[in-house]
Amino acid sequence: MSECHRSIDMTVVLKREKITTLMIVEEGVHEESFMAGVRHLADGVFELHLVDEMEKPAHYMRVAQLHGLVHPVDWIRFEVTPSGTLRVKPKPPFKVDISEQDVSATLEELEEREFIKSVLEQLEKE
């Protein structure tokens, strides 16, 4: 019996008996058909992700699927406090590298737009 069929049989029994189950599955370890079966049969899918941000580990989670509820699927940054609770953290600011020449060109364009806007307003008044 394939891995996918075993997971479907197990899930059917658990749902029939009204047993709530938390499954922790790591992607890339199982066949894609198994992962698709788990997602299909699960009432909810929560995903965790670990990334390096500014040379420090950052933890993210999201609700990828939750039957019966409309919900955002954005990644939420969090940390685990020393007491074991989860704390939502703001995403780190993006670093933007803009040259002085880019800033000058943008300011000139904005000033030009404002000038045109003021001329049009003056013409409307006349």
Give residue-wise pLDDT tens across range 22-74: 777 877 888 888 888 877 777 888 888 888 888 888 889 988 888 888 888 88
Cα distance between residue 42 and residue 100, in whole Å: 52
Cβ neighbour number for residue 37 with a 10 Å cutoff = 20
Give the torsion through C-alpha atoms of 63, 64, 65, 66, to 10 deg.
10
Cα distances from 113 to residues 56, 104, 107, 122, in angstroms, run 43, 14, 10, 14
Predicted TM-score (pTM) of this structure: 0.54
Place of tokens 């008044």: 125
Task: Give the per-residue SS3 of 88-118.
Answer: ECCCCCCCCCCCHHHHHHHHHHHHHHHHHHH
Nearest CA to 48 out of 22, 70, 15, 76 is that of 76
- List, for residues 72-107, the tens digit of each pLDDT value: 888 899 998 999 998 998 776 656 667 777 777 777
